[in-house]
Amino acid sequence: MNNIGRIIWPGTVVLLALVLSFPACKKELPTIRMGMVLWPGYEFIYLAEQKGFFKAEGLNIDLFDFVSLSDSRRAFERGQIDILAGTIVELLIIRENSYKSPQAFYVADFSNGADVILGKKPIQTISDLKGKKVGVEPASLDLLTINLALKHNQMELSDVILVPMAQNGMKDSFQSQEVDAICTYPPTSVKILNSGEANILFNSSQIPGYIVDVLIADENVIGERTDELAKIIQGINRAILYTRDHPEEALAIIADHEQISVRDLKEAYIGMSVEPLENQIQYFTPDGKLIRASEAALEILRETGVVQRNIIVKEIINQGPVTRALSILKKNG
């Protein structure tokens, strides 16, 4: 906090003198509030918090779990969290809906099969969904997934009936036959597939590079707290490397948080690409995957009327914290 302008009352001078007489203590950084949903790609944030990697960087992190991306996005828009783990769809919708200037400053993962559309057996293909009900989370990644899946099969949104629902309600709605199909991801998709009730109609490996998860912060926060965000990136990177070196322990911690088995978690990770710090900068180049994925998502959200503002993609991406974290990595390496 900025102390300029605070009044020092009589007597405070004595207390101040006493404080100054003690040896200087390490200054604790202000709390950073982070929000995430259950998704294996975000779990290295959770692992870093559980293993004390953030504390080792001198960070004070409050980590909040949300039941849906829509809930975490709204919390960010209201200023209840400082950093949001979300997709580029959330990034674009925040820019559309709020006064904030959100920017992606770190790539958590690229989905390459983990995001799916599940159909109630005996439904086997996207084409079979014509005239049927599909559960989607409103104003979320699901809009991108269902649009791309339908386009892949020469279909339009008007060919299906979209039923809005939160991710945490999809399993019950699917099993009670309120919908014929759902757009979902682990751990929900894992639990439904394990029940034997569903077929995978579509997955993100059919649209490589389109679905990307990022860390999002307001432009002002990134400008004022770049060093802290770089330390967050370092903590996450340490968690990724720790998982590679100690897979049994790390995956057990993550699986417990996701409420799925370690075996199912390993399968989920096959369907995504999680990149360590040294590979991050390539995504932030002018022709990098993050720019291309953001432009593709923006086009679809404009087509569906979700985004109407003139959003310039290069203005919602900020490589500053990654660049700073890389410079620290090289310096220490």
Amino acid letter at 81? I
Q: Is the pLDDT of residue 243 over 90?
A: yes
Cα–Cα dist 210/112, whole Å: 9
Q: Say if residues 115 and 204 touch (Cβ distance below 8 Å).
A: yes
| 23 prior amide bond cis, ω within 30 | no
Question: Token pair for residue 5?
Answer: 């302008």
Cα–Cα dist 190/265, whole Å: 9
Residues of the chain with CATH 3.40.190.10: 32-111+211-332, 116-206
Query: Within 13 Å, how many C-alpha atoms sit on residue 159's CB side?
Result: 14
CATH superfamily, region 116-206: Periplasmic binding protein-like II (3.40.190.10)
To the nearest whole percent, how much of the chain has pLDDT over 90? 82
Q: Say if residues 297 and 88 touch (Cβ distance below 8 Å).
A: yes
Residue 308 pLDDT? 93
List alpha helices for the chain, DSSP H.
12-20, 43-50, 53-56, 69-77, 88-97, 141-152, 170-175, 188-194, 219-224, 226-245, 247-258, 262-270, 289-303, 320-332
Domain 32-111+211-332 fold = D-Maltodextrin-Binding Protein; domain 2 (3.40.190)
Residue 28 pLDDT? 59
Confidence of residue 269 (pLDDT cuts 50, 70, 90): very high
How much is the average pLDDT of 246-262?
97
Q: Is the pLDDT of residue 27 over 80?
A: no
Residue 332 pLDDT? 80
How much is the average pLDDT of 194-201?
96
**pTM for the predicted model, two decimal places:** 0.88
Q: Is the pLDDT of residue 20 over 50?
A: no
